[in-house]
Structure 1
Amino acid sequence: MSAVLTGPELQVRREIARVESDRKAIRIWLGVVILALFCLVLVGGATRLTDSGLSITQWKPIHGVIPPLTVAEWEEELELYRQIPEYQQINKGMSLDEFKFIFWWEWAHRLLARLIGLIFALPLAYFWIRGKVEPGIRAPLVGLLALGGLQGFIGWWMVSSGLSERVDVSQYRLAVHLMMACFIFASCVWIFRSLSVHSNDAVPTGNSRLLAGVLLVMTFVQIYLGALVAGLDAGYSYNTWPLMDGAWVPQGLFVQSPAWINIFENPKSVQYIHRIGAYLLFAAAFAHMVQCLRAAPQTTHARRSVVFFALISLQAVIGIVTLVTQVPLHAGVTHQGMALVVLAFAVAHLRGFSGERPKPVLVEVRN
């Protein structure tokens, strides 16, 4: 016969069940948000690769949801585009149909960003009102909502850099825009993972968690370097591997003055540093995997380290293919998408060392 639960015991059991149910609902919602953010970054990458980002020259947070519906409205949008340097110096004489192609990419990117705002804000309000949001994640979720609004401003700040003097957006602002998107994405993954079931396996070594954190930081840095490569169109040149411009250390890396500016504005230096960053991340992931497998090969932590190294290896192959094929659209978008997969797994791997969030504990009740 099963034991009869006392009133307090039954109450705690019900509280545990309620918390688990609420966490499941929050995880499903965050999973949708994470998928939408993933798609948003991919569309943003395609927008960059098709040189579509400057096709909409005005910031209309509300009215901009409605695209041109008549020929006259399309002509008005094209006329606005004709006023900026990109059209005058690169796309002069562009037809209306050609303009529509780049317009739709940018419009889709902005529309998806607006939709994600709703996908995040409305369910959050519902869960909050129903008391389903745990106190420990309330401030982070509100903070992410605020960062999403800031990201919209950053996006326009980025676009505005290419509307007056430049024929493209600033690589500095592009990198900030991408990194903010990645931070929001990673934060959602962190909260999602914190509400998931964790194993009780012991941490392989005393510094395993530290190295997992280093890997996450290195992943962020590598994505930042990739944004600079994209902003400078550095991937369209020096398309050989493993040598670059016929050498392991090519000439012309730090020819600009002051020297530090080469890290951000010299396309050759930026691509070279991005390559070195990839090698370092590959080596660090391999070392972490070996450490975990030697110390505790049967743990979930060790298995995750193997998966992470496999993802890094796959991303390296995709990066090489993207480079040697001179960044076709499908390869460039795949490379960017895989970077997000690596980032998400790096976040989940690090969070896995911390265990689950605490839940109500069933304690012995004495009569």
Structure 2
Amino acid sequence: MAAKRSIFEEVSEETPQERQPQAVQPGLIDRASSGARGAIRAWLMVLFAMVVAMIVVGGLTRLTDSGLSITEWAPVTGAIPPMTEESWTAEFEKYQQIPEYQLQNVGMTIEEFKTIYWWEWGHRQLGRVIGLVWAVGLGAFLLLGKVPTGWTGRLVLPGALGGVQGAVGWWMVSSGLQGEMLDVASYRLAIHLGLAFVILGLLTWYICLLGRPERDLMQARRAKEGGLFGLSTGLLHLTFLQILLGALVAGIDAGRAFPTWPLMGSSFFPPDPFTIMPVWRNFFEDAGLVQFMHRIVGYLVFALAVFTWIRARRSTHPRTRRAFDWMLVFTFGQVVIGIAAVLTQAQWHVAITHQLTAVLLWALILRARFLSGYPITSSVREGL
């Protein structure tokens, strides 16, 4: 007769020594979103750095009046610069046909032309390299099946916008090759720079998202600080407007028009701001009015940044508070550098520092906004 068994006895035929604990299986969220998140994030960081370099080189190209030195758009063959004296002479002759040379640079030597040519060629070449790094990286991740679920379209978008950016760049350059234009159209320059910041913003947001596991992001979203997220979104939009106005200032050299602060000359408002007809053109072409708009929006950005920072002090998440601390520090620094740019009549080293600080501030606002939408609690070890 079989012995009675306790209701607490194991019914498996295996002995306790034979039974092994089963490995914990990752959840469906982790498996569905698996991929080379770390490697893709590193690749996006490289692209981020290259886009920042592109913006800086573009600014230096503008400050050295080099942007119109290449008068043709040849995305493929243009990658090869002139290699002989005959080809240099041919390029110089093309440049001599445009208004910038005829009205401003008559008498320029071919050696002087080579200097501005190399600036513009370097700017375009860097754009080609960025496109290549994007295409090769994305292609490799797709072939290896390492793109996380739902990320293919996201990773295609920066490259697609980069292609549009190349076309916009030529559209901008072409505006200075005819009529009596000595520079590119300022509104086209603003669109060109604005699109660069859109691409930079996408890369920043993706880098933030890929810095944490998908399960962590889904949990963090529940703790979203809606009010702070909304304020930082408003600050982001206002800062973008300020960036566009900065491009208008650069496009018509408005930064050198009134080298005084806080007044513009002897008054708060620039004199005779609406002399160009039709009136709407003054908002793009009158140096005094364009600089005035840039100043006023700069004050508004600073005021909203301070207000947003005060609101962020109430956040219960230390990482979020620190992100907004850095945002405010760079906002204040950007205001100071902007004033210095005005007082020095936009000397190139001050102007390019002003532009680079704008890039860093843009990224810091995005990061602070991200952390208000996906806050990190004190127990979470993953960082950005």
TM-score normalized by the length of structure 2: 0.86
Q: Secondary structure at the match of 1:244?
A: coil
Q: Using a 3 Å threshold, how does the CA distance of structure 1 residues 162 and 287 change in structure 2: closer, same or farther?
A: same
Structure 2 counterpart of 1:6, from 17, 22, 35:
22
Q: Secondary structure, in 3 states, of the residue corresponding to 1:168?
A: coil
Q: How does 1:282-293 map to 2 (within 5 A)?
A: 282-293=302-313
Aligned partner (choices 232, 241, 244) of residue 252 of structure 2: 232
Amino acid at match of 1:235: G
Asked whether 1:141 is paired with 2:161, we answer no
Match of 1:364 in 2: none
Q: 1:218-249 CA distances to partner (integer Å, 9 max, x unpaired)?
A: 11110000000011110111011111121122
Cα displacement (A) at 1:257? 4.4
* Contact preservation (8 Å) 2:323, 2:367: no
1:4 & 1:173 partners in 2: Cα distance? Answer: 68
After superposition, the C-alpha distances for 1:94-139 in whole angstroms (9 at most, x for unaligned) are: 0011101100100000000000001111011111121221232211
Question: Which residue in the other structure is 1:365 paired with?
Answer: none
Residue number in structure 1 paired with 2:142: 128
Residues 156-184 of structure 1: CA distance to partner in whole angstroms, max 9, x if unpaired?
Answer: 11111111111211111111111111111
SS in 1 for 2:373: coil
2: CA distance between counterparts of 1:105 and 1:169? Answer: 16
Q: Does 1:23 align with 2:37?
A: yes
Q: Which residue does the alignment assign to 1:263? A: 283
1:323 aligns with 2:342: yes
Give a deviation string over 1:133-153, Cα, whole Å, max 9, x none.
123221122122111111111
- Residue type of the alignment partner of 1:147: L
Checking the alignment, whether the CA contact within 8 Å between 2:35 and 2:145 is kept in structure 1 is no
Corresponding residue of 1:161: 175
Instruction: Write the mapping of 1:85-234 to structure 2, written as runs, cut at 5 A.
Output: 85-165=99-179, 166-197=181-212, 206-234=226-254
Give the distance between the partners of 1:170 and 1:326, measured in 2 at CA: 21
| Contact 2:256/2:346, CA 8 A, preserved across alignment | yes
What letter corresponds to residue 191 of structure 2 in structure 1? V
Larger gyration radius, structure 1 or structure 2: 2
The change in CA–CA distance for 1:333 and 1:20 in structure 2 (over 3 A counts) is farther
Change (3 A) 1:5 1:307: farther
Q: Structure 1 residues 213-222 or 295-304, which shifts more?
A: 295-304
- Work out the CA distance in 2 between the residues paired with 1:33 and 1:24: 14
Q: How many residues align?
A: 352
Runs of 5+ in structure 2 lacking a partner? 1-18, 376-384
Structure 1 CA distance for aligned equivalents of residues 222 and 262 of structure 2: 40
Which range moved further: 120-129 or 249-258?
A: 249-258
Q: Is the CA contact 1:204–1:301 (under 8 Å) kept in the aligned structure 2?
A: no
- Alignment partners' CA distance in 1, 2:119 and 2:285: 27
Q: Normalization by structure 1: what TM-score?
A: 0.90
Give distance in 2, aligned partners of 1:256 and 1:5: 81
Give 1:191 deviation, angstroms: 0.9
Determine which structure has greater relative contact order: mean sequence separation of CA pairs < 8 Å that are 6+ residues apart, divided by chain length.
1
Checking the alignment, whether the CA contact within 8 Å between 2:70 and 2:117 is kept in structure 1 is: yes
**1:314 counterpart (333, 345, 362):** 333
Give the Cα separation in 2 of the matches to 1:112 and 1:4. 57
Give the Cα–Cα distance (whole angstroms) in 1 for the partners of residues 295 and 29 of structure 2: 51
Match runs of 1:64-79 below 5 Å: 64-79=78-93
One-letter amino acid of the structure 1 residue matched with residue 175 of structure 2: S
- The aligned residue for residue 315 of structure 2 is 296
- Structure 1 residue 264 displacement after superposition: 1.6
Distance 1:244 1:4 in 2: 80
Percent of counterpart pairs with the same letter? 42
